[in-house]
Amino acid sequence: MVGFFGSEIQEIETYVGDYADMKIFKNGGEIVHDYFDERITENSNLEGWHQDIHEDDFEEEVFETVQELTSVALDNIRIEVDVGDNPDFDVAALPLGGFGTTYAIEVKDYLQEGNDEVSEAPANNKDAGELRSELIRKPKEYAEQADCDLITIVKGLSEEQYGDLSRLAESSSVVLLNHDNYQEELRKLLIEESFKEMSEYIV
C-alpha cells in the first residue's frame, strides 16, 4: 500500500545527491511503521497502534490524493494510550521519505448521511463551539500525542462557517481545508514545503 514512486525518487536525488543512500526511500511502509513504533517507545502513555478500515468515501478519496503526492502514508491509524481517549487519524503522512513535517490528517464529511446540499448538512445544526471541538481542538490534541502537525479537511460547511473556522484554525496552528480546494493545498504542504525543509538537511 505504500512505497515511493520512481518520479519521487528522482526528485529527491536531485536535492540530496550523495548525501543519502536512496535505498532508504524505496520502502515507504517501513518509514511510516518505524515512525509510529518510535513514538510508542518514546512516550510512556502510548501503548501501541494499529490500522482500521475506511469509514466513508471521502476518507478514501483524501487518502488516495495523499498517496499521489507522497506514498509514504498510512490510513486510519489508531493509537492505544494508557490514559484518556485513544487518538485516531484518518491519514498520517510523512512527506518525501520522512524529510520535514509529519502530518496527521482529519477528514470530516458532514454530507455523508445522504445530504446532497450544504444547506442540509448536519453541520448547520451545530454551533461554533461544537465544530471547533470536532475539527480543531480534539484532533489537534490527538495529533500532538504522536508529534504530528494537524491538517483537517472538511466537507459540508457553509461558506460562512468555513471562513470563521479557518481563522480559528490558523490561530491554533491548524491547517483547515475545504473539500473544493484541498488537493492543491496538500500539494503545497506535502511537496513544496517539504522540499524547503529538506534543504536544511543538506546545506
Write out the three cell numbers for 15: 536535492
Q: How many CB atoms lie within 10 A of CB 8?
A: 20
Contact present, 73 and 2 (Cβ < 8 Å): yes
What does the pLDDT read at residue 167? 96
Q: Which domain holds residue 95?
A: 6-202
What does the pLDDT read at residue 51? 81
pLDDT in tens, 5-54: 444 545 555 555 444 444 444 455 667 777 788 888 887 777 888 788 76
In 3D space, the residue among 75, 102, 106, 83 whose CA is nearest the CA of residue 190 turns out to be 102
What does the pLDDT read at residue 24? 46
What does the pLDDT read at residue 172? 96
Alpha-carbon Rg for the chain in angstroms: 17
pLDDT in tens, 139-181: 999 899 888 899 999 999 999 999 999 999 999 999 999 999 8
For residue 85, the domain's CATH number is 3.40.1350.10
Q: Which residue has the cell 480546494?
A: 181
What does the pLDDT read at residue 77? 84
pLDDT in tens, 91-107: 888 765 556 788 999 99
Q: Does 101 map to a domain? A: yes
What are 127's strand-pairing partners? none
Residue 113 pLDDT greater than 90, yes or no: no
Q: What is the DSSP code (8-state) at residue 64?
A: H
Q: Does 1 map to a domain? A: no
Which of 14-18, 62-66, 84-88, 122-126 bottoms out in mean pLDDT, i.e. has the lowest?
14-18
Residue 79 pLDDT greater than 80, yes or no: yes
What does the pLDDT read at residue 117? 60
Q: How many domains does the chain have?
A: 1
Q: Does 80 map to a domain? A: yes
Contact present, 139 and 152 (Cβ < 8 Å): yes
Q: Which residue has the cell 445544526?
A: 125
What does the pLDDT read at residue 194? 65
Contact present, 14 and 202 (Cβ < 8 Å): no
Burial classification of residue 157, based on how many CB atoms lie within 10 Å of its CB (0-12 exposed, 13-18 middle, 19 or more buried): buried
What does the pLDDT read at residue 198? 60
What does the pLDDT read at residue 31? 73
pLDDT in tens, 173-196: 999 999 998 999 998 888 777 666
What are 50's strand-pairing partners? 78
In 3D space, the residue among 25, 165, 1, 9 whose CA is nearest the CA of residue 91 turns out to be 1
